Amino acid sequence: MVAPQEFLKFIDDNATKFISRLGEAVAIPSVSGDGARRPDVFKMSAWLDGQLKQLGVTTKLVDLGKHVMDGQELPLPPAILGRIGEDPAKKTVLIYGHYDVQPAEKSDGWNTEPFTMVFNEKTGEMLGRGSTDDKGPILGWLNVLEAHKTLGLALPVNLRFCFEGMEESGSEGLDDLIKSETAKGNDGFFGGVDCVCISDNYWLNTRTPCITYGLRGLVYFKMTVSGPARDLHSGVFGRMVHEPMTDLVTLLSKLVAPDGTILVPGVEDMVPPADFDEKEIYDKLDYSIQDVEDAVGAPITLSNDKTTVLMGRMRMPSLSLHGIEGAFYSPGAKTVIPACVSGKFSIRIVPPMTPKAVEDCVLPFVKAEFAKLNSKNKLTIENLHDGRPWVADHKHWSYEAARRATEAVYQRSPDLTREGGSIPVTLTFAETLNVNVLLLPMGRGDDGAHSTNEKLDRSNFIEGSKLLGTYLYEVGAATV
C-alpha cells in the first residue's frame, strides 16, 4: 500500500519545524549514566510525554523503581507507555525507542557544544548528542503522528509506544515491566501486539538504506584496583609501594590484542567459524573499506578485506577498553599515585554466546592474572550490565513491509544486515511477546553515535520520517 501523497508532502513542507523540535530534544542532556544528570533524564521523559499527548496518544508514565549506580541510589527514569488506535480490524505495531543519551562534553573533542544542536544547512548535518541515537528516530515517529493528526488521516495500524530512559545504561527495570505486562495477557499493555519496530541503528554506509535482523549482545565489566588509603606523592612513595594504576594497566593489557583478538581463554572458542554460504552474505553487501575509513576519519581498519571487517562487526565478538576512573586526566602535570582506579571494558557477544558463559571466562582469568602480579593491592571485578544477542526471521511479513517501504521512499532495495551494537530489550520483546522484531534504521553509517560530533543528516531525518510512515501503510496491507 502506497503512503498517501499528502502525508509525504506534509513531511517535506514541515521539515523546518521538525528540525527545530529535534533541537529542543537534543538540548535536554538526558545522560542516564551520570548521576548528576538524572534530573535531566526525567525532564526529557516529561518533554516527550507532553509531545505524545499533544499528538493524540494516550500515555502512562511507569515508575520503574530505583537502582544503585557507582555507590549512589538513584530513581530510575520512567518508561513511557503510549497507545493510539483500537481498531480490531487493524494490525497493532509496537514502537520502541530510548530518550537517554551517552555522556558528552565539548572537551571530549566536539567541534560544537554537544547539547546545542547545530544545523549546517550547507552539508545538511545536524550535530548534537542524541540527534541520531535515539532522539532523531523517536521524533520521526512524532512527525508521522503529527502529519496524520493535522491532515485528518486515519493511521493504517494501531500503535503502541514504549520509550525508556535507561537504554544506554542497561535498560534497568524495563525487562520486568515487559514481562509483568505480558503476563496479564490481552489485558496488559502489550496484549494484541502483532510486531515490533525499533529504529535505533544505522545504515552500513552513507548511501544504501538497510533493514537489520540481528544484534550483538553485551557484557560490561568494571575492574577496580585499590591500595593506599589516599592518593600519594610519587616523589615520596614511587618505587616504595605497589601502585594501583600499574596493576590495572597491566591487567587491561591482558584482555585484547592489537589485532582485536580476545585474549581471555574460551571466549573466541564459543563462536563457530562461518561457512561459505554465510560469507557470501557479507560479500554481497554494499560496503567497502573506504566506508569504514570515512566513518572513523582515518585508515585504521584491522583488515583490508571487506568481508573480514564486516564479519568482525556483525558475527564475531569484540572486546573494547573504554576508560579509567580515578586517574589524573586534567591539564598540567600532577605527580600523583592514585589510591584507587577502575578500568571499564565490554565484550560484544553473538549467538550462541551468553553473558553468563562470558562472565565465567572473564572473572577467573582476571583474578588469575592479578595473582601473578604478586601485588599487595586489592582487586574487585564486577559485571555492571549485560544483554544477550538476537537474530530474527528476515522473511517475516514485517520485514517484507519494510523492504517495500524502503524501495518506495529511496527507490532502491535495502541491504539486509546484522548490526554490531546492542539493544538488549530487542530479545526481551521477541521472546516475551513471541512476535517478530524489526530494526528499521534512520541514520547513516557515519553518524558517530556514542562518539564526538554525533550527527543526523537532514535528508535521513526527513526521508526517514517518510519511511517510518510508509512502513506502517505496508504493514497495514500485509498478508499474515
The residues annotated as belonging to the active site are 100, 167
- Measured distance CA(425)–CA(96) in Å, rounded: 9
**Given 3-state DSSP classes, what are the helix, strand and coil percentages for the chain, each rounded to the nearest 5?**
40, 25, 40
27 contacts 43 by C-beta, under 8 angstroms: no
- Measured distance CA(205)–CA(294) in Å, rounded: 9
> At residue 64, what is the residue type?
L
Beta-carbon contacts of 301 under 8 Å, excluding residues fewer than 6 positions away, are: 289, 292, 293, 309
Q: For strand 158-164 and strand 92-98, is the pairing parallel, antiparallel, or unpaired?
A: parallel
If you compute the radius of gyration of the chain from its CA atoms, what whole number of angstroms results?
Answer: 23
- Measured distance CA(174)–CA(188) in Å, rounded: 15
Task: Tell me the β-bridge partners of 340.
Answer: 226
Give me the phi and psi of 84, to 5 degrees please: -150, 125
Q: Distance of alpha carbon 214 from its chain centroid, rounded?
A: 13
What is the DSSP-derived secondary structure letter of residue 36? G
The C-alpha cell that represents 88 in the structure block: 480490531
- Nearest to residue 403, comparing CAs of 210, 140, 203, 215? 210
438 contacts 445 by C-beta, under 8 angstroms: no
- Measured distance CA(386)–CA(170) in Å, rounded: 7
Residue pointed to by grid coordinates 489485558: 187
Tell me whether residue 267 is exposed, middle or buried, using C-beta atoms within 10 angstroms of its C-beta: 0 to 12, 13 to 18, 19 or more. buried
- Nearest to residue 222, comparing CAs of 325, 122, 108? 325
Q: What is the dihedral of CA 33, 322, 215, 454, to 10 degrees?
A: 70
- Measured distance CA(376)–CA(237) in Å, rounded: 15
3-state secondary structure 134-191: CHHHHHHHHHHHHHHHHHCCCCCCEEEEEEECCHHHCCCCHHHHHHHHHCCHHHCCCC
First to last CA, the chain: 15
